[in-house]
């Protein structure tokens, strides 16, 4: 089995705060893996370690077969941050051109393709600061996709996005999976988690349980993911 992500006993401490507490998980190539948990559960910290922005306090992680951090693997990673990393005074197209040129891309057709994907082709020349929050999310996703990454790390990507566009995003994510692209997506939205192949349920930096949405519901003996999460969290609390 080839893994796009292989994390072993990851711990990350910020002073006395333990953001990740001995977390281990593996993500297979070509699947959508969801990190599901409330704010403060360690989702963003884990993603930042995967992309090489943070170093773990203990443990190690390999991404696309290379131990992170490693600059050599960055061209294979697309990263959409939870907060906007866009240049507010530039237009949508100028932001895309900037990220494209970082990766040495000059294909104008690719720019048009991602603009149409996120539904902003008619707003290509709009200055980012004039856009709504949902539209900025669309631009951020387009920038993460521009270089055709093999691993896509999405931190709360559909916040502020309308339901119809969310469905379009997930349709495209499935197309990417079929092309062999791996997607790791953080969320606290249960209906979005249902769309993932597998889920890791996180609480206070620990992995409570892992499996497909159906497997998790069956193991917890619950009818919904939300109820299953609460059941696993209760067991974890009793152990601690």
Higher pLDDT, 207 or 238: 207
Q: How confident is the model at residue 134 (pLDDT cuts 50, 70, 90)?
A: confident
Q: Report the alpha-carbon distance of residue 82 to residue 187 in Å, rounded.
A: 10
Report whether pLDDT(184) > 70.
yes
Number of Cα atoms under 13 Å in the Cβ half of residue 107: 9
For domain 3-81+148-239, give the CATH superfamily: P-loop containing nucleotide triphosphate hydrolases (3.40.50.300)
Q: Render pLDDT for 214-227 as a digit per residue (tens, 0 to 9).
A: 999 999 999 999 99
Higher pLDDT, 107 or 111: 111
Q: Decide if 32 contacts 195 (C-beta within 8 A).
A: yes
Q: How confident is the model at residue 24, as a pLDDT?
A: 96
Q: Render pLDDT for 21-50 as a digit per residue (tens, 0 to 9).
A: 999 999 999 999 999 998 899 999 999 999
Q: Render pLDDT for 140-182 as a digit per residue (tens, 0 to 9).
A: 999 999 999 999 999 988 776 778 878 888 888 999 999 999 9
Q: How confident is the model at residue 118, as a pLDDT?
A: 86
Range picked from 96-100, 133-137, 192-196 for highest mean pLDDT:
96-100
Q: How confident is the model at residue 238, as a pLDDT?
A: 63
Q: How confident is the model at residue 111 (pLDDT cuts 50, 70, 90)?
A: very high
Higher pLDDT, 106 or 195: 195
Range picked from 52-56, 106-110, 136-140 for highest mean pLDDT:
52-56
Number of Cα atoms under 13 Å in the Cβ half of residue 144: 29
Q: Mean per-residue pLDDT for 75-100?
A: 92
Q: How confident is the model at residue 3, as a pLDDT?
A: 94
Q: Report the alpha-carbon distance of residue 18 to residue 40 in Å, rounded.
A: 10
Q: Report the alpha-carbon distance of residue 77 to residue 153 in Å, rounded.
A: 7
Q: Could you give the angle at which helices 225-239 and 213-220 cross, rounded to 10 degrees?
A: 60
Q: What is the mean pLDDT of the chain?
A: 91
């Amino acid at each position: 089995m080839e893994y796009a992500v292989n994390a072993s006993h990851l711990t990350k401490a910020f002073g006395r705060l333990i953001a990740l507490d001995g977390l281990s998980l593996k993500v297979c190539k070509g699947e959508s893996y969801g990190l599901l948990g409330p704010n403060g559960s360690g989702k963003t910290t884990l993603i930042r370690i995967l992309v090489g922005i943070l170093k773990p306090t203990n443990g190690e992680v390999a991404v696309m077969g290379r131990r992170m951090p490693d600059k050599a693997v960055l061209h294979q990673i697309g990263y959409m941050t939870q907060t906007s990393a866009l240049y507010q005074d530039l237009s949508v197209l100028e932001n895309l051109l900037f990220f494209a040129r970082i990766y040495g891309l000059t294909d104008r057709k690719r720019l048009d393709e991602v603009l149409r994907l996120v539904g902003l082709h008619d707003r290509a020349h709009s200055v980012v600061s004039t856009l709504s929050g949902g539209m900025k999310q669309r631009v951020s996703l387009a920038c993460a996709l521009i270089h055709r990454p093999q691993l896509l790390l999405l931190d709360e990507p559909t916040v502020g996005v309308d339901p119809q566009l969310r469905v379009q995003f997930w349709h495209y994510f499935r197309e990417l999976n079929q092309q062999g692209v791996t997607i790791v997506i953080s969320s606290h939205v249960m209906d979005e988690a249902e769309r993932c192949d597998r889920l890791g349920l996180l609480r206070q930096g620990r992995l409570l349980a892992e499996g497909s949405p159906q497997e998790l519901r069956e193991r917890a003996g619950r009818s919904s993911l939300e109820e299953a999460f609460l059941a696993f969290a209760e067991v974890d609390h009793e152990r601690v």
